Amino acid sequence: MNAKVTAECLAVDAAEFLAFKRAMGMGYRRAEFVLSSFVRFVADRYGERSAPLEQAVTLWATRIEGRKAVTLGNEFGVVRQLCLFRRRSDPHAFVPEHAVAPVKESVFVPYIFSRNDVLALIEAATRHEGRSMWGAMLRALSLVLYCTGMRLGEATRLRLDDVDLRRQVITVQRSKGRSRVLPIRDDLAAELRHYLRRRDEVLSARGVSASPAFFIRRNATALTLRAASDALRRLLRDLELKPSRGRAGPRPYEFRHAFAVHRLTAWAHEGVDVHVRLPMLSAYLGHVNVLGTEVYLKATPELLELASQRFERHARGRRRSS
């Protein structure tokens, strides 16, 4: 088995691997960061010498004590894919076993905004007037995030052509390797029509005839993910939902969690079997499979209590019928 390789050769292989994946339409930005970390680790530890790849992968995977199993498993998976790619040109190339970093069930429990939290955030967004951020745009962005469960990056990448208010659908283009079409309610469509009128005023004031981006800043440039994230984090801190500094507390991503849990809770109150609806919610959220959506079933005490009550009614009915 060819189990030795230099950091220089690994860097070349990693570049070819990323080019191969991107040629198939995958972004692989996070994977590029992981592979760069791995190549740097090999270079720092072994210099220009050939590194025993099995040893290098194991040392790299265990370099930080106490890491979350899911994070470790995801990063290890990227390096293992690189090793599998190398085996295409060298049948004897080393490929690590999954046991090096076994993927375990995530114990992550998302932070869930209450409905009052959401209302306070939307009100704060509406009032906000900054140098580049403006209230009508932040309000529309917050409503899209909460009413569709869209990822923040998906929302900031929306193009004007992706939002069809006549048909009341939003198209999310090529996110996580796939596109999806999201039907929206009348009230969200009305909010977005109001935003578009204000958007036209901003463009006109800047002497710009048109912009392909749906969400724009005050200077008529496209809203970026970083700018949107920073602005929403400031709102969270201003409302004291998040500490004044540090990474603790809720993030803008929590709009997505709130959408999912509030939708499931509404179904439960309506007496709907949420497990039957779960695949529909999974498709709407753009999850790869329903397993990514099931985490929301245990996200709040209210939802767990409703599920427990439903199960108890079902069990009593079966006892009476028998």
* Mean pLDDT of the region 108-122: 86
pLDDT exceeds cutoff 80 at 3: no
* Mean pLDDT of the region 281-310: 70
* Mean pLDDT of the region 59-80: 82
DSSP H/E element including 205: helix 186-205
Position 72 confidence tier, pLDDT thresholds 50, 70, 90? confident
pLDDT exceeds cutoff 70 at 303: no
CATH architecture of 115-253: Orthogonal Bundle (1.10)
Task: Decide if 3 contacts 52 (C-beta within 8 A).
Answer: yes
* Mean pLDDT of the region 10-36: 88
pLDDT exceeds cutoff 90 at 245: no
User: Residue 35's pLDDT is what?
Assistant: 93
Position 289 confidence tier, pLDDT thresholds 50, 70, 90? low
- Tens of pLDDT, residues 194-221: 999 999 999 999 999 999 999 999 999 9
Pairwise CA distance, residues 27 & 20, whole Å: 11
Greater pLDDT, 44 or 174: 44
Position 176 confidence tier, pLDDT thresholds 50, 70, 90? low
Position 133 confidence tier, pLDDT thresholds 50, 70, 90? very high
* Mean pLDDT of the region 245-257: 87
Percent residues over pLDDT 70 in the chain: 84
Pairwise CA distance, residues 225 & 315, whole Å: 48
- Residue 301 half-sphere exposure, CB side, CA atoms within 13 Å? 1
Task: Decide if 113 contacts 199 (C-beta within 8 A).
Answer: no
* Mean pLDDT of the region 54-71: 82
Position 175 confidence tier, pLDDT thresholds 50, 70, 90? low
Chain mean position to CA 159:
19
User: Residue 97's pLDDT is what?
Assistant: 81
Pairwise CA distance, residues 272 & 184, whole Å: 20
pLDDT exceeds cutoff 60 at 167: yes
